[in-house]
Amino acid sequence: MKTFRIGGVHPQDNKSFSAHQPITECPLPKQAIIPLVQHIGAPAQAVIKEGDKVKVGELLAKAGGFVSANICSPVSGVVTKIGDWTDAWGAPGQAIFIDVEGDVWAPEIDRTPDLVRQCTLEPKAIIDKIAAAGIVGLGGACFPTHVKLLPPPGKKAEVLIVNGVECEPYLTCDHQLMLEKGEEIIIGIQLLMRALGIKRAIIGIEKNKPDAIAHMQKLASRVLGISVMPLNLKYPQGGEKQLIDACIGRQVPSGALPIEVGAVVDNVATVFAVYEAVLKRKPLISRVMTVTGKNVAEPGNYRVRFGTPLTDVVALAGGIPEDTGKIIGGGPMMGRAMNSIDMPANKRVSGLLFMPENESRRIESENCIRCAKCVGACPMGLEPYLLARQAELQLWDGMEAHNIMDCIECGCCTFTCPSHRPLLDYVRMGKAKVGGIIRARNAK
């Protein structure tokens, strides 16, 4: 079996807690809070006003620029407020507050369970539907999907790579989605191939999901041009540059995008959302997320409407375990500790991990011993020990020269460091600072 060539680590996957738990629908909230930033790029701009009544699927906010995404209503009810809001990481922004009344859907949305296969739309019409639906990458990056489907002049896609890897420990929502919605995912792949004008797609799945591999192989065998590639276990294989290397043996140059090597990468959840948007006229209003942890009473995979308080989702999983020392939004490697779960579900949140107290304490860091384990583990070929030291000393020019912006923040460096140094924390801080300097320079 294949994998990527540079770096990587092998953390314990800890997926058994929620693996094979069927997707459960989370009840509607009493009030939905819908942030206007749920994606990379410019905030969406509200097109409704306080006092308006909305139905499920209606447009609430339009994309605020080329790299931005629409936001459609996940609930029906009355808009009570459009105003300031702060997320669980302390980032301020704007949000739309809706008092929920029933569950009234826009009439054009096909809510039947019938599978729709036929599509006669031209590529541009498919891309327009994806943009209108507000679809973003649901693997974590939240990059607007329609932008990926519009390569810059002189670039052309050759292959679509579908990310079914889910290499982040604990998370199982993509695995379960493939088992339950495999046919829809295959049709979504065909839609994306049509939009890109290509004839080849590869679904990458790690070998710790043998049932998903078998299921998707059976479905893909009926469709010309789609294949499933089982992959060896190695984190962070779900990173798009690592997945491209694993699947087609091409390495994306420093600072470049996947289209540079003829590839477009989309997560399986994103592909499912494309199917619903194009053939069922359903915008992106919910996602499947994993709630898990070693002491969670009812770990599982839950389909949650955006705007639903995470406290409601956690209640379905049995509540917060008494010995919880840390709550992480996402998985343990790339996720971030949350100040509170008093925030709404949104396009960015793929899971909640409750870590026991004895596992959530940081071990006191020691001096770097120059062992270079972090260098060997870095999947981007960087020198994390050096970048972390430069961040400590605020040597921003040096960090830029050493390609800090190539860092994918996977956490392999911190995971492998025998001195328990918080390398990723320093690198994230430095990357944010250098990124701001670059943006300011380019704006002149």
Confidence of residue 92 (pLDDT cuts 50, 70, 90): confident
Nearest to 387 by CA among 372, 400, 368: 400
pLDDT above 90 for 415: yes
| Short-list 265, 309, 305, 312, CA closest to 282 | 305
Angle at 331 between CA 313 and CA 431, to 5 degrees: 125
Separation CA 84–CA 64 (nearest Å): 17
Q: Is residue 443's pLDDT more than 90?
A: no
Q: Which pLDDT belongs to residue 248? A: 97
Rounded to whole angstroms, the Cα distance separating 21 from 24 reads 8
pLDDT band at 7; cut points 50, 70, 90? very high
Query: How far from chain centre, in Å, is Cα 128?
Result: 21
Question: Is residue 197 within 8 Å of 164, Cβ to Cβ?
Answer: no
Calculate helix-pair angle for 182-196, 123-132, nearest 10 degrees. Answer: 120
Query: Which pLDDT tens digit goes with each residue over 336-364?
Result: 899 889 899 999 999 999 999 999 988 99
User: DSSP readout, 315-346?
Assistant: HHTTS--TTEEEEEES-TTT-EE-S-S-SB--
Helix (H) or strand (E) holding 208: none
Q: Please name the amino acid found at residue 69.
A: A
What is the rounded CA–CA span in Å between residue 378 and residue 315? Answer: 38
- How far is it, in rounded angstroms, from Cα 175 to Cα 407? 26
In whole angstroms, what is the distance from residue 189 CA to residue 149 CA?
A: 13
C-alpha–C-alpha distance, residues 162 and 185, integer Å? 10
Q: Is the pLDDT of residue 238 over 80?
A: yes
Distance CA 116, CA 172 (A): 26
Strand, coil or helix: what is 19?
Answer: coil
Give residue 232's pLDDT: 97
Place of tokens 């710790």: 208
Its pTM stands at 0.96
